C-alpha cells in the first residue's frame, strides 16, 4: 500500500513533538552532567528533530514548486533566503557538526556537539518552529 506524502502541517506537528522531546532530553542531560545514556538520547533526539526540520522545509518548498535540493546545505541556504530561518551560518554549523560527529571520522567531536545542541541549536529550532507555525497559519 502506498502512503501519501505528508503535508507541511503534519510534519510541523511531528517536528514540534520531537522538539519537545529534545528539550526534555536536554534538561535531563544538564541535570545529570551528561552521563553517557543521556548524551546518546540527546544526540539521537537532536538528529531526529533536525531531520524533521529539513523534511518540513522540503515539503514547504515543494508547495511552491521549489526543489528538489541536492542536500541539506542547499536546502538550508534556500530557507535562509526565504526568511524561514534567521541564522543561516548557525544552521550550516548544524550540518557541519552532524557530518563531523559521524563515527566514521576519527576526531572526537561529541562534547562540542553536545554543547552546541544545548547552547545554540535547540534555540534555533525553537525559533524555526515559531516561524513555520506563523507561515503555515497565514
**Residue 59: inside a domain, yes or no?**
yes
Q: Which ranges of the chain would DSSP assign to H, the alpha helix?
A: 8-32, 36-63, 72-81, 88-101, 110-116, 122-136
**Residue 3: inside a domain, yes or no?**
no
The predicted model gives 15-33 an average pLDDT of 86
Give the percent of the chain with pLDDT over 70: 87
* Per-residue confidence band for 10, with pLDDT thresholds at 50, 70 and 90: very high
| Choice between 72 and 36, residue whose per-residue pLDDT is larger | 72
* Per-residue confidence band for 55, with pLDDT thresholds at 50, 70 and 90: very high
Task: Kindly tell me if the per-residue pLDDT of 81 is higher than 70.
Answer: yes
Query: The whole model's pTM is what?
Result: 0.88
Q: At what angle do helices 36-63 and 8-32 cross, to 10 degrees?
A: 160
* Per-residue confidence band for 34, with pLDDT thresholds at 50, 70 and 90: low
**Residue 79: inside a domain, yes or no?**
yes
Distance CA 39, CA 29 (A): 6
**Residue 40: inside a domain, yes or no?**
yes
pLDDT digits (tens, 9 = 90+) for 87-131: 999 999 999 888 877 665 555 667 788 889 988 999 999 999 999
Count the alpha carbons within 13 Å of 135 in the hemisphere toward its beta carbon: 20
**Residue 1: inside a domain, yes or no?**
no
For the chain, what is the domain count?
1
pLDDT digits (tens, 9 = 90+) for 62-75: 998 887 888 899 99
Residue 74's CATH number = 1.20.120
Task: Give residue 104's domain range.
Answer: 8-133
Task: Kindly tell me if the per-residue pLDDT of 8 is higher than 80.
Answer: yes
Amino acid at each position: 500500500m502506498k502512503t501519501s506524502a505528508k503535508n507541511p502541517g503534519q510534519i510541523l506537528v511531528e517536528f514540534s513533538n520531537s522538539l519537545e522531546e529534545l528539550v526534555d532530553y536536554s534538561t535531563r542531560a544538564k541535570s545529570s552532567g551528561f552521563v553517557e545514556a543521556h548524551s546518546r538520547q540527546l544526540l539521537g533526539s537532536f538528529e531526529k528533530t533536525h531531520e524533521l526540520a529539513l523534511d518540513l522545509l522540503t515539503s514547504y518548498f515543494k508547495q511552491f514548486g521549489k526543489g528538489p535540493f541536492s542536500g541539506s546545505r542547499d536546502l538550508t541556504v534556500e530557507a535562509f533566503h526565504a526568511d524561514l530561518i534567521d541564522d543561516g551560518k548557525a544552521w550550516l554549523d548544524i550540518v557541519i557538526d552532524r557530518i563531523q560527529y559521524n563515527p566514521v571520522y576519527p576526531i572526537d567531536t561529541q562534547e562540542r556537539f553536545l554543547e552546541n545542541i544545548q547552547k545554540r541549536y535547540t534555540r534555533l529550532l525553537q525559533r524555526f518552529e515559531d516561524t513555520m507555525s506563523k507561515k503555515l497559519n497565514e
